[in-house]
Structure 1
Amino acid sequence: MTTKQALDAWFAARGWKAFKFQRAVWKAVAQGRSGLLHATTGAGKTYAVWLGALLAFASPPKRPGGKRPQAPPPLTVLWLTPMRALAADTLRALQQALDAAGAEMHPWSAGARSGDTGSAERSAQNQRLPTVLVTTPESLSLLLARADAREVLGTLRMVVVDEWHELLGNKRGVQVQLALARLRRWNDRLCVWGMSATLGNLEEAMRTLLGDEPGLLVQGEVPKKLVVDSLLPGRAEGFPWGGHLGLTMLPQVIEEIAASTTTLVFTNTRSQSEIWYQAMLEARPDWAGQIALHHGSLDRAVREWVELGLKNGELKAVVCTSSLDLGVDFLPVERVLQIGSPKGVARLLQRAGRSGHAPGRPSRVTLVPTHSIEMVEGAAARAAIAGGHIESRRSPEHPLDVLVQHMVTVALGGGFEPDALYDEVRNTAAYATLSRESWQWCLDFVSQGGASLAAYPDYRRAVPDAEGVWHVPDARLARRHRMNIGTIVSDASLSVQYLGGAKIGSVEEGFVARMKPGDCFLFGGRLLELVRIHDMTAWVRRASGKRSAVPRWNGGRMPLSSTLADAVVQQLALADEGRYETPELQCVRPLLEIQQRWSALPTPDTLLAEVHKSREGWHLFLYPFAGRPVHLGLANLVAWRVAQHQPRTFSIAVNDYGFELLSATEVDWPTLLPQVLVAGHDAEAQDAIAHDDERTALLHEVLASLNATELARRRFREIARVSGLIFQGYPGEKRSNKQLQASSSLFYEVFRKYDPANRLLQQAEAELLALELEIGRLRASLARMRAQRLVLRTLAKPTPFAFPLMVERFREKLSNENVADRIARMVQQFESAAAGH
């Protein structure tokens, strides 16, 4: 029986029939072609690519006498996954097909290698890698840093990049691009396939993956029913604020879970998942052991227990974060609930695909609003999906910190010749336009740390030998580099561990640093009391009946995507025309009618601005619907431009829909606002605009309007870690966030003083603008705002859209109790006013 016959029999035994897109991939792989497979979650992407590899490569030559070799072939297929948690599940899926193909046909071996791989298995792999290896981008870079990297990886015939959409838009994706360029140099016939779901820019995504190589884009069009609906409250509050619905929706959520076999309850933050899990357990204590919590800060053993329970259908519900967004196959999951805004269409589709995770099974995701205006997002997301509007993701350009790390990696992995490596690097999308000057700067940086660090031997990380081949000259520096490969950068975390007992997980240092012994916090679904902090570990014990805090992890506030924001404004335009045709718009109609009566509703053609005078001062509310980071930049920019007329101090509040500026002194907004939206009044900025360089002018104004130095210093800390300026420590060595921050700040100040042209400083500023302030989106928002008709309303009272912005500002000043009391009084006043028209 041939491999094809064995796999056909396996499909038939399971009642499967190959889809057209699967056959297309099998044919392309057999022809040696590379490409990108795009299909919905659960459509069968894994078997499309994996069976293509088996059919193409899994027939070893016979030994003399007609016998087949018994030793597994060398490394042939490399399967890259963005998450360690996916490696084990992916390996199981690959092994099933491998077993079905018949070991007597091809004695392939399979294994996984990641940060979770045990020392014994890692040691065995160091002697001989399996035929197919499931690994992460970081572990691939470690393989490239082996002295025998070319010998070990030169046998590769195929590389598969799973969940490419998750890697594409960040530095880990750049790390993959550089690694693939190196592998192609060793084998110009290397077959590379990416797998992706929920992407808007497919052709660009494929070009980024394949570099200069031609490729085939395969669309997996499998009929699959998708249901997107909302769990609506009995009535919508007329004056909402972020999180005000929140746990008031708990009874309905409990009811939905009770009516389903297995449900995933997605939240956007780990803190939110802790709160919801605890609330569900208190509401249904009989569900203890049947519901679970899953997020990235929990210990690996806990996460694996939850994943196994889901796979076996033993859990009724799991409250989770993006830790379960990707590829793990949980067939028993029937329902997906999304608590709060999904923030993006692609994210909502990805999470919807966790239910009905098989061809032919329907997927359903139900939005649970935590804010009345979020109800509009449910209708907006459904319309965007129907229209095929999904967010695009693009590769970072020229991140030099990743490049210098890769250069040292390659120097360890056999060495490099500068001209040849430069040509290789320029075959990637991220560095296609890298200049010779930037390349020479990188060479200088890895050879001596740049102009200001030349006297220190620790920064002579790669130098040329007599033949012009660059190597790492010091075994200690080589060891340090291998220990710190990667681009995942987060604040230092502390282990959370029971006194004399098991580890529970980890929390960020900044949260625990504000606590004192005896304080309690919720973590892993348990109420814990802090006993002491020692050696970067928070030692705890069980607590009961005490008031608790909930850990706050960084990165919790994802911005609303442009695609979803535009869809929301389209829904508001329908409401403006009196077309309340969806359940969500019908539910939120009272709120929108108050907004329309007291002010106006934003539409694609209008920019709504509201002006209000209160005891606090003069308020401006503006609604660009551009997402929180852009609104932060816009608010600072508008305030800075206004201050050019007369010095003023503003308080700022932002959310995903708009921003508020509050001044204690009078501001003539009807006169000033149209002016400041067109352009600023800074002489240098105006001069730049006069010379057709409006982009430069905007950059100048944005940086001038912010504490750009402090923000850039924070970005530089991450760049310093990735580029190898800061050594994060050997395994088991604990270094606090304060130590790392102090080290990076020292480098930042030294470079500013003695090496102001340092390109890592320039990168810090560029990333600040691109990532934190989304300067491209800010520029597009300004252009759109200038094209819109300005609708400016003077308010007697704050509107339903203005109210949540006021609450954002209160939260910065008052305790939770004071905020709640203040909000309750305001809501009562405004609702009385609305009732009286």
Structure 2
Amino acid sequence: MPTPRNSAPQRKKKFVAVTKNDTAPPVTVRIDNWFASQGWRSFPFQRQAWLELKRGRSGLVHATTGAGKTYALWLGALAAFADGVAERPKAQALTVIWLTPMRALGADTLRSLKVALEALDVPWTAGARTGDTPASERAAQGRRLPTVLVTTPESLSLLLAQANAAEAFSSLKLVVADEWHELLGTKRGVQVQLALARLRRSSPGLAVWGLSATLGNLPEAMDALLGPAHAAAGVLVQGKTPKRMLIDTLLPPRIERFPWAGHLGLAMLPAVIAELEQNRSTLVFINTRSQAERWYQALLAARPDWAGDIALHHGSLARETRDWVEFGLKNGLLRAVVSTSSLDLGVDFLPVDRVLQIGSPKGVARLLQRAGRSGHAPGRPSRVTLVPTHSLELVEAAAVRAAAQAGRIESRHPPEKPLDVLVQHLVTIALGTGFVPDELLNEVREAHSYRHLTDAEWQWALDFVTRGGASLAAYPDYRRVAVDEHGIWRVPDARLARRHRMSIGTIVSDAAMRVKFWGKGGRGGDLGSIDEGFIARLNPGDAFLFAGRLLELVRTHEMTAYVKPGTGGKGVTPRWNGSKMPLSSELARALVEQLDEAAAGRFTSPEMRAVAPLLAIQAEWSALPVSNCLLAETWRSREGTHLFLYPFAGRHVHLGVASLLAWRAGKLQPASFSMAVNDYGLELLSAEAIDWASLFDADLFATDTLMHDVVASLNASELAQRRFREIARVSGLIFQGFPGAPKSNRQLQASSGLFFDVFRKYDPDNLLLAQADAEVLRQELDLGRLEETLTRLQALPLQLMTLKRPSPFSFPLLVERFRERLSTEKLADRIARMVQDLERAAGGDAVPSNEAVQEQTAFGVETPQRRAKRPKKVSRPLPLLSQVKPRE
């Protein structure tokens, strides 16, 4: 069988399939001979892809991770375009562009492509062009591109900005968009769409193919890739090769009946260590960089003998560090790597035989993608083990496995008409070959996201790049494009051209400071980057954890934080900006189905049997949230009247629902509300007594005035201004600075805020403002899902329960609200008291000490000595859920 992408084994003897003369056999024969020499066999979906490429068709290959998708397109490209070349020329013209969403994946893909070139003795050259490519190699590529070029969307746009772009791409035959599902729903995917429309102009017969492994909306994904003019002729090639996927859960030693999110689940550390000891190589995936830093430190503290055998990997570490970790994984030199999504994608780590997922993956596709990093070869099983950080994640674990086995994978949808990306593309093309507006408009409309672009929107974009729109016409820096004497629109100013080249791309992050060791030579040099806002809160001498080390801040200078090795015990963990991942719609639906089963007394999985005591308390004190009714709980405390609601729609939607309900309820009964949300539900708290039973009859979930009410209920202007910062950078309104002298985050915020205020006052019809409003509703509040949720809730019968004390499902919402206004120490004290009170009311089973809660809130590790100091409690058995009488 064939190797998967990026994992061709080393051949014991070199197989030479051709001779250096005119009698060289066709590439298809060489492929058959190569496969036979390795004992492989091709899969049907690979042969179908080879045939469609030979026919000149375009399409999408969808198959499981590690099934051989890369060879499906790469060997097909060689068979289609490399035949008939008998001698090896000095350089073959550019024929294939292989787009990758990550530089690490690009480097790994290039190695795999070269393996096939060598084995088949195909006279092609291969190279990469990414942010990691040395300047000397980029200069050589400027003179002549290799036959196959592995690159990123940003680097491809830079090539389109060259004056000789049309000539350089004239010989292009094929573009492959690798991991298309990763790009599809982002502005980077829109950038790819526009680039493909431009490349088709230089190469009218261009074939375009995508590769994807975890995607629910395949027809839409292919339409977005191929564009409206070519989608109907596209071919969907699906790999039906069987892939064993084992998904299990590491059950905790004890079940918290009153769980709360926010701690790292380090109570599971001994169990995780035991699992790592049993495997040759394991990837430990964690959702955030802060959490990854803490888990890595905890593993080293518990097993100092593993120093050098385990490693840390995330996107903020220096490239040299990441390269070292990836090399160690590929060569089986590391026992375990603690990683974030930086290792999600298809880099091949063949020695990895196990994946651990700490905490909920929050989505089915994300879990399958990470599971595929183990057993990354056809025929090899993939295994992922979920490690819950609190008890309710056991329900999520059972749900995600059920959804994965049923093939219920999330869809990803391309953005509609992002004008900031269009403005950037116009300047890019003007900087390259130049353009004529009417011709370029037809080309832009060949991109799926701009298929409905209106003439008025097009004219606005042209006006914006030529004079900055209605409010910036007096400023020369915004006259980026002008018409030359031949009627071609070009960038007339060399300074503006340089600035644009350095700003191409749609990846926008907050300003980051480099972290380097203090002193000449240092003891490791560059360590990576940290958000500027985090460093700004530290004083010289403060200690923090980064890159798996305890560091002490020495000084900051010109966006660089100089550090030295820290001494002593704990340091603070960096917090990187970014929203929490919300629960996906597919996983949320599967989670409620698990609760439906529990309500019927059916506990068919180990996870649900383990969490049964928690669910029994929930059913005894309130009711279980199920799919055929809407559970609402009310509770009176010293703080006021609490409402807990459980739509199970994810934290983004719940923020919109909570704000909407508070605004509508406040109109009916004057009151002020504070709120908290998590992935399961929301809390509204009012100091006044609220009769929620009567308010729910007042059509609180109506959708006919949804847009108006959502905007009115939220601080929409503040949200839009925050979103506008990204739009301003992508569209070129603000410049992030030159290499080595970037602008600070405060400067960028001030600049974008100034533009936002100017446009609001003097150019209210500016379409970038409208885009900011639309992105807030679509991305931050998920307006479409919000409307679906309200429609569903409106149709459900209400089950309103009055609580004597917080239920297991409402307790995490209380903690979520406390966290916003209490320090870590005060939060620990508050949680400890509440948990002890609730556990006594529930029977006094395994009451945690205040010390244990402090360790969780401080992200510390509970030692056996501390655990031994806990007082022994006598517990009574709880009734089975099936024995609990339903509440009226």
Deviation track 1:185-213 (CA, whole Å, cap 9, x = no partner) reads: 22221011100011000011001000021
In structure 2, the residue matched to 1:264 is 283
SS at match of 1:307: helix
Distance in 2 (alpha carbons) for counterparts of 1:245 and 1:413 = 50
Residues 1:48 and 2:56 are matched in the alignment:
no
Residues 1:512 and 2:535 are matched in the alignment:
yes
Deviation track 1:341-387 (CA, whole Å, cap 9, x = no partner) reads: 10000000000000000000000111000121110111111111122
Residues 1:36 and 2:55 are matched in the alignment:
no
**Counterpart selection for 2:598 from 562, 575, 595:** 575
**Counterpart selection for 1:702 from 710, 717, 720:** 710
Distance in 1 (alpha carbons) for counterparts of 2:736 and 2:148 = 31
Gaps of 5+ in 2: 1-17, 19-24, 845-877, 879-888
Judge which range, 416-425 or 390-399, deviates more.
416-425
Deviation at 1:655, TM superposition (A): 0.5
Structure 1 residue identity aligned to 2:714:
L
Distance in 1 (alpha carbons) for counterparts of 2:834 and 2:638 = 14
Distance in 1 (alpha carbons) for counterparts of 2:37 and 2:388 = 44
In structure 2, the residue matched to 1:148 is 164
Mapped contact 1:75–1:156 kept (Cα < 8 A)? yes
Residues 1:471 and 2:495 are matched in the alignment:
no
SS at match of 1:549: coil
In structure 2, the residue matched to 1:9 is 33
Deviation at 1:641, TM superposition (A): 0.6
Structure 2 residue identity aligned to 1:16:
W
Structure 1 residue identity aligned to 2:684:
L
Distance in 2 (alpha carbons) for counterparts of 1:421 and 1:60 = 36
Distance in 1 (alpha carbons) for counterparts of 2:201 and 2:140 = 27
Mapped contact 1:331–1:358 kept (Cα < 8 A)? yes
SS at match of 2:416: coil
Mapped contact 2:264–2:291 kept (Cα < 8 A)? no
Structure 2 residue identity aligned to 1:700:
H
Distance in 2 (alpha carbons) for counterparts of 1:92 and 1:614 = 63
Structure 2 residue identity aligned to 1:544:
T
Distance in 2 (alpha carbons) for counterparts of 1:52 and 1:472 = 40
Distance in 2 (alpha carbons) for counterparts of 1:74 and 1:379 = 52
Distance in 2 (alpha carbons) for counterparts of 1:665 and 1:533 = 49
In structure 2, the residue matched to 1:111 is 127
Residues 1:802 and 2:818 are matched in the alignment:
no
Question: What does residue range 87-166 of structure 1 map to in structure 2 within 5 Å?
Answer: 87-102=106-121, 106-166=122-182
In structure 1, the residue matched to 2:863 is none
Deviation at 1:171, TM superposition (A): 0.1
In structure 1, the residue matched to 2:627 is 604
Mapped contact 1:518–1:531 kept (Cα < 8 A)? yes
Distance in 2 (alpha carbons) for counterparts of 1:69 and 1:579 = 67
Distance in 1 (alpha carbons) for counterparts of 2:765 and 2:412 = 30
Structure 2 residue identity aligned to 1:149:
A
Structure 2 residue identity aligned to 1:712:
A
**Counterpart selection for 1:220 from 229, 232, 239:** 239
Question: What does residue range 178-577 of structure 1 map to in structure 2 within 5 Å?
Answer: 178-211=194-227, 212-213=229-230, 214-244=233-263, 246-500=265-519, 501=522, 502-577=525-600
Distance in 1 (alpha carbons) for counterparts of 2:399 and 2:132 = 40
Deviation at 1:71, TM superposition (A): 2.0
Mapped contact 1:594–1:799 kept (Cα < 8 A)? yes
**Counterpart selection for 1:729 from 732, 737, 743:** 737
Mapped contact 1:71–1:107 kept (Cα < 8 A)? no
Distance in 2 (alpha carbons) for counterparts of 1:496 and 1:12 = 51
Judge which range, 71-80 or 170-179, deviates more.
71-80
Structure 1 residue identity aligned to 2:119:
A
Distance in 2 (alpha carbons) for counterparts of 1:674 and 1:386 = 40
Deviation at 1:155, TM superposition (A): 1.2
In structure 2, the residue matched to 1:822 is 830
Mapped contact 2:117–2:123 kept (Cα < 8 A)? no
Mapped contact 1:23–1:48 kept (Cα < 8 A)? yes
Structure 1 residue identity aligned to 2:270:
P
Deviation at 1:517, TM superposition (A): 1.0
In structure 1, the residue matched to 2:660 is 637
**What is the RMSD of the two structures over their aligned residues, measured on CA atoms?**
1.2
**Counterpart selection for 1:675 from 688, 695, 698:** 698
SS at match of 1:528: strand
**Counterpart selection for 1:70 from 65, 71, 89:** 89
Structure 2 residue identity aligned to 1:621:
F
Mapped contact 2:45–2:239 kept (Cα < 8 A)? yes
Deviation track 1:444-499 (CA, whole Å, cap 9, x = no partner) reads: 00110001111111111112223332111111111111110000001000001110
Gaps of 5+ in 1: 63-67, 680-688
TM-score by length of 2: 0.91
Deviation track 1:708-728 (CA, whole Å, cap 9, x = no partner) reads: 111111111100000000011
In structure 2, the residue matched to 1:713 is 721
Mapped contact 2:466–2:479 kept (Cα < 8 A)? yes
Distance in 2 (alpha carbons) for counterparts of 1:729 and 1:370 = 41
Distance in 1 (alpha carbons) for counterparts of 2:685 and 2:30 = 71
Deviation track 1:105-127 (CA, whole Å, cap 9, x = no partner) reads: x4211000000111111111111
Mapped contact 2:51–2:76 kept (Cα < 8 A)? yes
Deviation at 1:15, TM superposition (A): 2.0
Mapped contact 1:292–1:315 kept (Cα < 8 A)? yes
Deviation at 1:135, TM superposition (A): 0.2
Mapped contact 1:520–1:546 kept (Cα < 8 A)? no
Structure 2 residue identity aligned to 1:817:
E
Deviation at 1:234, TM superposition (A): 2.0
Distance in 1 (alpha carbons) for counterparts of 2:268 and 2:655 = 30
Structure 2 residue identity aligned to 1:373:
L
Structure 1 residue identity aligned to 2:54:
A
Mapped contact 1:79–1:159 kept (Cα < 8 A)? yes
Distance in 2 (alpha carbons) for counterparts of 1:677 and 1:364 = 45
Distance in 2 (alpha carbons) for counterparts of 1:83 and 1:353 = 17
Structure 2 residue identity aligned to 1:294:
H
Distance in 2 (alpha carbons) for counterparts of 1:760 and 1:305 = 42
Distance in 2 (alpha carbons) for counterparts of 1:731 and 1:127 = 24
Deviation at 1:244, TM superposition (A): 4.9
Mapped contact 1:677–1:782 kept (Cα < 8 A)? no
Mapped contact 1:144–1:409 kept (Cα < 8 A)? yes
Distance in 1 (alpha carbons) for counterparts of 2:604 and 2:83 = 59
Identity, in percent, stands at 66
Deviation at 1:7, TM superposition (A): 2.2
Structure 2 residue identity aligned to 1:722:
V
Mapped contact 2:410–2:584 kept (Cα < 8 A)? yes
Structure 2 residue identity aligned to 1:773:
L
Change (3 A) 1:282 1:61: closer
Mapped contact 1:228–1:366 kept (Cα < 8 A)? yes
SS at match of 1:370: coil
Deviation at 1:558, TM superposition (A): 0.5
Change (3 A) 1:359 1:588: same
Structure 2 residue identity aligned to 1:50:
W
Structure 2 residue identity aligned to 1:528:
L
Deviation at 1:276, TM superposition (A): 0.5
Change (3 A) 1:12 1:183: same
Distance in 1 (alpha carbons) for counterparts of 2:57 and 2:110 = 24
In structure 1, the residue matched to 2:687 is 664
Deviation at 1:595, TM superposition (A): 0.5
Deviation at 1:60, TM superposition (A): 4.5
SS at match of 2:209: strand
Residues 1:738 and 2:751 are matched in the alignment:
no
